[in-house]
Each structure stands twice: as C-alpha cells, then as structure tokens.
C-alpha cells in the first residue's frame, strides 16, 4: 500500500511539507522494493535516508518552533529525540544482522506509524501556531 501526501498531512509550511513529502517518497520506495522482492536491498538506502532526514528535518522544525516561540517546544523536541533513537536502533540492527525481512517490516511500521501520528497530531499543531504568529 503506497502512501500519499494528502490534505490532512499538510501543515501549510512549504519547507516542512516538502520534507514530509520526501519522507513519504522514502516509504514508498521501500514498499515498492518490497513488492518486487528487493526490500532487503533497499533497506540500507532507507536507513541512510532516515539518519539524514531526522537530522535535517527535525532541525528545521525545531528552528521554526523556537523562532515562533512554540509553547510545546520541549515535548515536540522530545518526540523527535525518541524517533531518532528508533532510527539508531534500526541502524544498529542492520549493522549487526544485515537486511532481514523482519527489519524491513520494522522500518515500514516505524516510519508509517510515526508519519501518521506525528505529522497529523503534532506538526499540524506547530504549523497552526506558526501561522497565528505571522
């Protein structure tokens, strides 16, 4: 099942929405690879993307939050740190065990779960706050 960047995922911030689209593309690339029997081969690309993405995207979001004096910044940053730990754990498993089918499933589940919950619940709140401050 491919993911789409739908209206309910839009924050209204061009930078953040663009970065969220990149995340969806990465998920879809992994799902496509899985459907053609190449999921394990794509896993290294996806984990590398996630490491780079979490550093850049979370940094961009946190900068916007600080600039707009987002009142729930500390909690939002904590969510980011927790997800970075998930990504680090996935990378450790990949280094230790190689690209297993179970790890491909874990990556799909972790990204999709985070994407849906975090963007819809948390990032939309941030975007609403930023808009109210403009």
- Is residue 77 over pLDDT 80? yes
SS3 track for the chain = CCCCCCHHHCCCCHHHHHHHHHHHHHHHHHHHHHHCCCHHHHHHHHHHHHHHHHHHHHHHHHHHHHHCCCCCHHHHHHHHHHHHHHHHHHHHHHHHHCCCHHHHHHHHHHHHHHHHHHHHHHHHHHHHHHHHHC
- CATH fold of 10-29+41-133, please? 1.20.120
pLDDT tens digits, residue range 46-61? 999 999 999 999 999 9
pTM: 0.87
| Confidence at residue 8, expressed as pLDDT on a 0 to 100 scale | 87
pLDDT per residue over 112-126, tens digit each?
Answer: 788 778 998 999 999
Percent of the chain with pLDDT over 70: 99
**pLDDT tens per residue across span 3-46:** 889 998 888 889 999 999 999 999 899 889 988 989 888 999 99
The domain spans of the chain are: 10-29+41-133
pLDDT given for residue 113 in this prediction: 81
């Amino acid at each position: 099942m491919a993911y789409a960047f739908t209206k309910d995922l839009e924050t209204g911030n061009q930078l953040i929405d663009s970065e969220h689209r990149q995340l969806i593309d990465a998920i879809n690339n992994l799902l496509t690879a899985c459907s053609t029997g190449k999921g394990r081969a794509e896993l290294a690309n996806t984990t590398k993307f996630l490491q780079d993405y979490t550093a850049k995207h979370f940094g961009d979001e946190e900068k916007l939050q600080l600039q707009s004096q987002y009142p729930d910044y500390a909690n939002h940053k904590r969510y980011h740190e927790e997800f970075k730990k998930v990504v680090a754990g996935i990378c450790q498993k990949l280094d230790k065990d190689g690209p297993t089918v179970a790890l491909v499933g874990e990556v799909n589940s972790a990204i999709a779960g985070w994407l849906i919950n975090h963007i819809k619940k948390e990032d939309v709140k941030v975007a609403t706050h930023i808009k109210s401050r403009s």
